[in-house]
Chains A and B, each alone.
Chain A
Amino acid sequence: KAGVTQTPRYLIKTRGQQVTLSCSPISGHRSVSWYQQTPGQGLQFLFEYFSETQRNKGNFPGRFSGRQFSNSRSEMNVSTLELGDSALYLCASSLEGRTGVDTEAFFGQGTRLTVV
């Protein structure tokens, strides 16, 4: 069974540009969550998508957005990049993202974004 796949693995962008990251969840998983990992702030929850709808959202500015497609694949977009957006972005998938149904999230290897 294939794991969570994130593409690309590495990205270098310039301040002010926008970027799109992709996440393919484990087959059959319908919930996809995104996390930002930085040395200063650690691992922070960005948002969760389930059945093409954003179901949960963390405390990030509107420059961070996402979407989910009918096949559960998800994309995350960051517009008007800032230096502070440099981070490892991790995607996690789970069956339905609900307590009692599944309590385990499987993580991808992440996309390392560097903003220069």
Chain B
Amino acid sequence: AQSVTQLGSHVSVSEGALVLLRCNYSSSVPPYLFWYVQYPNQGLQLLLKYTTGATLVKGINGFEAEFKKSETSFHLTKPSAHMSDAAEYFCAVSGYSSASKIIFGSGTRLSIRP
């Protein structure tokens, strides 16, 4: 069975500071990993994805994530937070059985302090 665990339901950083959102996964097969962002009253937007190949993945809006198999982690980072980054972030996993069945983490709400 696949699952993801997001550490911290709420993270608050100052504008310009480093953003680090943590995600650990569990999967019996090589996983496909994703980070999605959700703004209030909106759907989910894909930030980045890891499938195979390079373990450092760059996404939109300056975000990136590193797949670390030894730590079963896929943490999301951004060097300098912007006020517009305030949103809910979801780590997710899918696998060989079906790319359409995505298992989501519980989400991390990111707040940005001026």
Residues of A bordering B, CB below 8 Å: 4, 6, 31, 33, 35, 42-43, 45, 48, 50, 55-56, 58, 90, 92, 94, 97-99, 101-110, 112
Question: What residues of chain A lie closer than 8 Å to B44, measured between beta carbons?
Answer: 90, 92, 107
Question: What residues of chain A lie closer than 8 Å to B107, measured between beta carbons?
Answer: 42-43
Total chain B interface residues with beta-carbon distance under 8 A: 25
Which residue of B is nearest A108, CB measured?
B43
- The prevalent SS among residues of B at the interface is loop
Residues of chain B from 82 to 114 with CB closer than 8 A to chain A in the complex? 90, 94-107
Pick from A43, A105, A108: contact of B99, CB below 8 A.
A105
Interchain residue pairs A-B with the least CB separation, the first 7 = A97-B100, A43-B104, A107-B43, A107-B44, A109-B43, A48-B100, A99-B99
Contact, CB under 8 Å: B96 / A56? no
- Taking the nearest CB of chain B, how far is it from the CB of A70, in angstroms? 19
Question: What residues of chain B lie closer than 8 Å to A98, measured between beta carbons?
Answer: 98-100
Contact, CB under 8 Å: B98 / A103? no
Provide the bound-state CA to CA distance between A105 and B99, in Å: 8
Provide the bound-state CA to CA distance between A97 and B103, in Å: 14
Provide the bound-state CA to CA distance between A14 and B45, in Å: 31
Pick from B36, B99, B100, B104: contact of A42, CB below 8 A.
B104
Question: What residues of chain B lie closer than 8 Å to A92, measured between beta carbons?
Answer: 44, 100, 102
Question: What residues of chain B lie closer than 8 Å to A103, measured between beta carbons?
Answer: 32, 49, 51, 94, 99
Contact, CB under 8 Å: B99 / A94? yes
Interface check B42, CB cutoff 8 A? yes
Question: Could you list some 19 contacts between A and B, CB below 8 A?
Answer: A35-B102, A45-B103, A48-B100, A56-B98, A56-B101, A92-B102, A94-B100, A97-B98, A97-B100, A99-B94, A99-B96, A101-B99, A103-B51, A106-B46, A107-B44, A109-B42, A110-B42, A110-B43, A112-B41
User: Residue among B94, B98, B105 with the most chain A CB within 10 A?
Assistant: B98
Q: State whether A33 and B100 are in contact (beta carbons under 8 Å apart), knowing that A43-B90, A104-B46 are contacts in the complex.
A: yes
